[in-house]
Homo-oligomer: A and B are copies of this chain.
Amino acid sequence: MSQTMDFRSDNVASVAPEIMAALERVNHGTVASYGGDAISQRLDGLFSALFEKSVRVFPVSTGSVANALALSVMTPPYGAIYAHSLSHVNGEECGAPEFFSGGARVVGLEGEGGKIAPAMLERALASSGKGFVHCAQPAALTLTQSTEWGRVYSLAEVAALSAIARRAGLGVHMDGARFANAVAGLGCTPADITWRAGIDALSFGATKNGALAVEAIVLFRTELADDLAFRHKRAGQLASKMRFFSAQLEAYVADDLWLKLARHANRLAKRLGEGLARLDGATLVAPVEANEVFVDLPRSMVDGLRTEGALFFGWPEPWVDSPTIRLVTRHDMAEAEVDRLLEVAARLATQVRRSA
């Protein structure tokens, strides 16, 4: 569809050709099921190389499962999980963290740009009643990278939050549904922004950035793997034909495909953000650091964009009245798709100015 201007999310995207090709490639002959196949067997090695550390990897089918399972091996049923108030863990998983942990509590914390403010974490821990039997016990911190505002935690920011968490005995998890975009944005190594900065477990996202349907839980604290193996099966995540999940992951990280795809999406977001920032009436409400653009627009412009066929959501929730819209770029987005939206927006901005 030549007219596509779809900025709803990166999960409206297609599967990257390299990944589809990998699925075709492994689709012959018979292999051991439940992860006994050769590709699944080499995942630990593959990710250990990628992260420059011996890790354990568990493929899962969705990001919600990745987060909830990873947190479940750090959190007792009476534990508390600290998450940004805007995070998926806190607000978009219909109680999955509670379900997988057996009843833990998610505590929403504030902080600008979807990043937890260190002071907020410290305050929450100070008033948590740690060791006091009447209170849910601080157990885990989860950071969304990149954040729900398209922001990226710097290495120093992750390290600072991890340090606070560790002093309080918490495990530290990173929700990396858009990990590739964050790493591409930072230009660092995957190791730097994870375990070297204090992360114990990562939800390594792939679906939004070109996979068909797979995420990986990467455990940097490999002693958690025995527990996770059983929870993973019990959650129905041990796929019988695991090769088709593992092959996606293998193709995704081969030859830095994941970073190439993310860099493309990030570049388009940058282009989109810069283009919008130049328009009268448009105000970027967050720096563009990954593949999302947040912009305040006059109502008439928002309506006009929709009339012209642009797809996107209001922010923070579709059902909340707000001048802010979210525009997400994708691995499979053509530059022309961005330019089309900018063109329409520019036209609308002119009209707004005239009618003002």
- Given A62-B239, A137-B230, A236-B65, is A244 in contact with B94 using a C-beta cutoff of 8 Å? no
Query: Are B77 and A133 neighbours in the complex by a CB distance under 8 Å?
Result: no
In residues 175-222 of chain A, which contact B (Cβ within 8 Å)? 207-208, 212-213
Residues in chain B near residue A23, CB distance under 8 A: 15, 20, 23, 212
User: Which one, A24-32, A268-276, A301-309, is touching chain B?
Assistant: A24-32
**Cβ of A41 under 8 Å from chain B:** no
In the complex, the count of this chain's copies comes to: 4
In residues 53-82 of chain A, which contact B (Cβ within 8 Å)? 60-66, 68, 76-79
**Cβ of A170 under 8 Å from chain B:** no
Is the interface on chain A under 10, 10 to 19, 20 to 34, or 35 or more residues? 35 or more
In residues 17-49 of chain A, which contact B (Cβ within 8 Å)? 20, 23-24, 27-34
Residues in chain B near residue A134, CB distance under 8 A: 34, 91-94, 233, 238
Contact of A99 among B15, B61, B77, B96 (CB under 8 A): B77
A interface residue numbers (CB < 8 A to B): 1, 4, 6, 8-9, 11-15, 20, 23-24, 27-34, 60-66, 68, 76-79, 91-96, 98-99, 101-106, 127, 129, 132-137, 207-208, 212-213, 227, 229-241, 244-245, 311, 317, 319-320, 330
24 A–B contacts, CB within 8 A, in A order: A4-B30, A6-B30, A12-B32, A23-B212, A61-B237, A64-B236, A64-B238, A65-B236, A77-B98, A77-B99, A77-B231, A91-B129, A93-B233, A94-B230, A95-B234, A99-B103, A99-B234, A105-B106, A129-B317, A129-B319, A133-B229, A133-B238, A207-B240, A235-B235
